[in-house]
Structures are given as structure tokens and as C-alpha cells.
Amino acid sequence: MHSIKYYSTNLKATPVSFGEALLNGQAPDKGLYMPEHIPTLSAQELESMAGLTYPEIAFTVLDAFLKHEIPGNVLKKLVNGAYDFDVPLQLVSERKYVMRLDQGPTASFKDFAARMMGRLMSYFLAKRDHELLILTATSGDTGSAIANAFYGLENIKVLVLFPEKEVSPRQRKQMTTLGKNVRTVAVDGKFDECQAMVKRAFADPALQHLNLSSANSINIGRLLPQAVYYFYAWSQLRNSVDDKPVFVIPSGNFGDMMGGMIAWSMGLPVNRMVIAVNENDEFKTFLNTGVYQKIEPSLNCLSSAMNVGHPSNLARLVALYGGVMDETGAIHQLPEMSLMRNDLYAISVSDALTKQTIFDAWHKHQLLLEPHGAVGWAGLQQYLVSCKSDNKDLYIVLETAHPAKFPEQIQGILHFDPDLPASLQGLEEKKEQYGFLSNDYESFREFLMNTYD
Ligand SMILES: *Cc1c(COP(=O)(O)O)cnc(C)c1O
């Protein structure tokens, strides 16, 4: 068995090793890297997951991809370092669970991917004696997760661009109070525009010498670690090995959901993936009609990290179903729509329903949700009604951030302030430092040249 190669979803670039895909971020033809072949876990490996710890499951899942690239003892150390926090599975009512992915250092599910990717990059960079400048655009949670995951790492600098008006003060402080190898810049624009500038910089020949790389959800090194928590939830909650859960995933750029799809492709028993989005419902329309139209500019909804009018990982999902979508969202070959409709169900949740759900979940179940998880929980309620699903099945909704990251919304709906997790305490006293840029590529490029040359 040889090591797995990674091809570009645009099909023009040469397939590369995991290390190269990780350090390149985006493929040279602007496509996204996907494994040419997805390894499967044996029935016995699945069976023996019951009772394993999170880092042990992370090792099993990642080793299936990386065994020819990273020695097992090294990978074990990396996963143990990355995953030193809890992953609570909260029972809400009969076999309906919320998986809280909010116990990491930035209280966001993005910690799971970013912490592993940082360690993987650091490993491959040290081997090559190479340096990188990580450019990342964030709508809030990515930036702080990336900044924290890479903070203090050798051979890596990080620059985070964030839309000035779409990021909460607490989210901002998690990135702007670090310093060292982490720099942050507020942009007078929207998330999609920040991301467009970052993407343009990657393709800019004049910036080649800066060794730019991506840490956004387009990096394959972020995607693979996101397959792990699906296995973990299943291993903890299944009654038998044939127990097939429905996962409900609050989604924006579809990195989280693609992690689930990879887990499914590796042999994880899954009934269906429910993709819950806010009012940015371009995917739902696509799934129903086969016609894809981006939403430009994206709509500003309460679940701000999901305000995405063109999910960057959609090209990967399309590829998984045999289609081809380029980086502009143009479809060159339609995926197997009927298969996709069998496997996936998309639900769009309004802001009004999001608020109502936060209220109801708390008052009915003592379940404290923030807006993103509330989109997921609302998605489950709708799914149960629309698909006449069996109430006895196993349902797992992903909560992607800690409610304390959204104190204004929670206060407005529930009239109390959620307790801060330890990781978010003490931010108020720390000193912030960040720059400003207008939404203009030329000034961004000049800034890069002046700062990093
Ligand atoms: C990033 C983010 C999402 C969306 O995840 P994708 O992988 O981009 O679909 C959902 N909720 C929160 C809190 C996030 O930060």
C-alpha cells in the first residue's frame, strides 16, 4: 500500500503528497486538495473504538491517512498535544444529543482542526527547514482558533484578516491580544471580501517569495482532523455497531460537514447528514434544483460565522459525488444529484427561528445554545417533522461554539450572561494590537510587502 496522493478539484494540477498539500494550502490551479483514495477502517477497528479516548480515536483515524508520512509514535505525540480537552456529549431527550465542540482553548470547534494542522505543519516544516506565512480570513472563530493554534510555533508567522463589523469584541480580543508571531488586521468589508483578498494574494506572482500558505478550511490539514469527532460521538453513543446516527451540522464553509463526509467514506455508519444553514441558503437551493447560484454579498445573519454565500469546501463535496466545480462556483460536471439527495438533507433556518430555538431549548430542556448550535438544533426539529423520522434513532447535533462567545445575543433572549469557560477569562485586561486596511487589494499587497519582505 503506497502513500495517498492528493489531487486538485480543478483537475489541472499534479497530485501531490500530504506534506505538499498541507504546506501549499491551495493547489496551483486554484482547486482544493482531495485524497485520491479514502482509506476505510475495518469492522474490527470500528468495533474496538468503543471506550477509546478522543486522542486514541484521532490517532486511529489520522494514521489511516498518514501512516506512510508520519511515524506512529510521532503522530501519537501530536494528537495527544492537540487534544487535551473534553468533548461532552449532552443528552437532551430520547437519543438526541448535542456534541459540544466548544471546550478547546478558543471555545470554538475550529480548535479541533487548527490545533492538529498547526502541529502537522510544524512537523513538515522542520523536516524541510522551511518557513511559511499563514494568511487567513476569518468571520470570527477561525482567526482566533488559528492564531491560538499557531501562537509561538517555530518557522511560522500568521496574519489574520477580519471584517471589522462582523466580529464580536470577544472574538476580536482572542486574536489581537496574542502578539509574537501573530498579527491581525481589521478590514473595512465583509468576510467574503477578506477571503477574496487572501485568495488573490495566494495567486499573486509578486508575492511568491513570501511563502504564503492557507489555514482556512480549504487546507486538507484542517479537513482530516474534522473527521475524528464523528467517529468519537458514534463510538460513545452507539448501541450496536450497526447503529447509524443522523448528524446535524450547522454549516458555513462546509469544512465541518466535509469532515463528516470523509468519516462516512471511511466506513463510519451514518444514516444521513443534515446540513443546517442560516438564511444563506445557496446550498439548499442547489441540492433541490441542481442549479448553483452564489449569494453575493452574503446575508448578515445572527450565526455570523456561517454568513457564507459560496462555501469554499463545496467543490470538495461536488468532487466526492463525481462532479467538478471550479473556484468561482461554476459547475463543469454535475455531481450525482440523486445520490447526494439520499445522503444529505439541507435546511435553512431564519434568524427569527434561531432566536426562538435558543429560547425554547433553554426553557424546555435546559439546553444552552448559541446562534450556530441553535441553527443545528432547529434543523433537527425540522428534519424530524419533514422526514417523518423515527424518534428512536440516534441524532447528534454539533454545537460549534461556546454560548459565552455570544453574550449579547444570549442576554437579549434569555436575560442572563452565560458563564465564561476558563479559556475565555481574563481577556478584558489584555492589551489589543491590530492594524486597519480598506477593502482594496492593492493596499493589502503593499501592506504584505512592507511588513514581511
Ligand atoms: C466556522 C463556524 C461554523 C461553520 O463551519 P464550516 O466548517 O465553515 O461549515 C459554524 N459555527 C461556528 C461557531 C463557526 O465558527
Give CA–CA dist 48/25, Å, rounded: 34
Instruction: Supply the pTM of this predicted model.
Output: 0.91
Any ligand 1 atom below 6 A from CB of 251? yes
Q: Note the pLDDT of residue 392.
A: 83
Average confidence score pLDDT of the chain: 94
154: three-class secondary structure by DSSP: coil
Q: Note the pLDDT of residue 217.
A: 65
Q: How far is the CA of 5 from the centre of ligand 1 (A)?
A: 27
Out of 306, 349, 377, 397, mutate this one to test ligand 1's pocket (max ligand atoms within 8 Å of CB): namely 306
Q: Is the pLDDT of residue 202 over 70?
A: yes
In this structure, are residues 419 and 404 in contact, taking their beta carbons and an 8 Å threshold? Answer: yes
Higher pLDDT, 390 or 46: 46
Which atom of ligand 1 is the closest one to the Cα of 226? 7
Q: How far is the CA of 250 from the centre of ligand 1 (A)?
A: 7
Any ligand 1 atom below 6 A from CB of 119? no
Which atom of ligand 1 is the closest one to the Cα of 254? 9
Residues in the chain: 453
Q: Is the pLDDT of residue 24 over 90?
A: no
Q: How far is the CA of 306 from the centre of ligand 1 (A)?
A: 6
Q: How far is the CA of 437 from the centre of ligand 1 (A)?
A: 24
**pLDDT bracket for residue 139 (50, 70, 90):** confident
In this structure, are residues 400 and 372 in contact, taking their beta carbons and an 8 Å threshold? Answer: yes
Q: Is the pLDDT of residue 169 over 90?
A: no
Which atom of ligand 1 is the closest one to the Cα of 405? 13
Give CA–CA dist 28/12, Å, rounded: 8
Any ligand 1 atom below 6 A from CB of 218? no
Q: What percent of the chain has pLDDT over 70?
A: 99
Any ligand 1 atom below 6 A from CB of 138? no
Please report, for the chain, the start and end positions of each structural domain, with discontinuous segments joined by +.
86-108+222-414
Higher pLDDT, 221 or 141: 221
Q: Note the pLDDT of residue 311.
A: 95
Cα 359 to Cα 214, 219, 351, 413, 415: the distances in Å are 38, 36, 13, 6, 10
Q: Note the pLDDT of residue 49.
A: 96
**pLDDT bracket for residue 339 (50, 70, 90):** very high
442-453 pLDDT per residue, tens: 999 999 999 998
The residue whose CA is least distant from atom 14 of ligand 1 is: 305
Which atom of ligand 1 is the closest one to the Cα of 250? 10
**pLDDT bracket for residue 333 (50, 70, 90):** very high
Give CA–CA dist 449/203, Å, rounded: 15
DSSP annotation of 422 = G
Tell the residue number behind the cell numbers 517569495, with chain if given: 209
Q: At 288, give phi and psi (nearest 5°).
A: -75, -35
**C-alpha closest to that of 223 among 215, 211, 234:** 215
Which atom of ligand 1 is the closest one to the Cα of 252? 9
Amino acid (1-letter code) at residue 128: R
Report the DSSP pairing between strands 96-100 and 89-93. antiparallel
DSSP annotation of 83 = -
189-204 mean pLDDT: 93
Give CA–CA dist 302/324, Å, rounded: 32
Out of 100, 109, 314, mutate this one to test ligand 1's pocket (max ligand atoms within 8 Å of CB): namely 109
Any ligand 1 atom below 6 A from CB of 403? no
Quick check: bond before 269 cis, omega within 30?
Answer: no
263-301 pLDDT per residue, tens: 999 999 999 999 999 999 999 999 999 999 999 999 999
Give CA–CA dist 190/299, Å, rounded: 10
In this structure, are residues 396 and 237 in contact, taking their beta carbons and an 8 Å threshold? Answer: yes
Q: How far is the CA of 308 from the centre of ligand 1 (A)?
A: 10
Q: Note the pLDDT of residue 216.
A: 66
Class of domain 86-108+222-414 (CATH, top level): alpha beta
The residue whose CA is least distant from atom 8 of ligand 1 is: 253
Out of 146, 256, 262, 354, mutate this one to test ligand 1's pocket (max ligand atoms within 8 Å of CB): namely 256
Q: Note the pLDDT of residue 44.
A: 95
Q: Is the pLDDT of residue 143 over 90?
A: no
DSSP 197-245: HHHHHHT-GGGGGG-EEE-STTSHHHHGGGGHHHHHHHHHH-SSTT--P
93-117 pLDDT per residue, tens: 999 999 999 999 999 999 999 999 9
422-432 mean pLDDT: 89
Any ligand 1 atom below 6 A from CB of 253? yes
239-270 pLDDT per residue, tens: 999 899 999 999 999 999 999 999 999 999 99
Give CA–CA dist 366/343, Å, rounded: 31
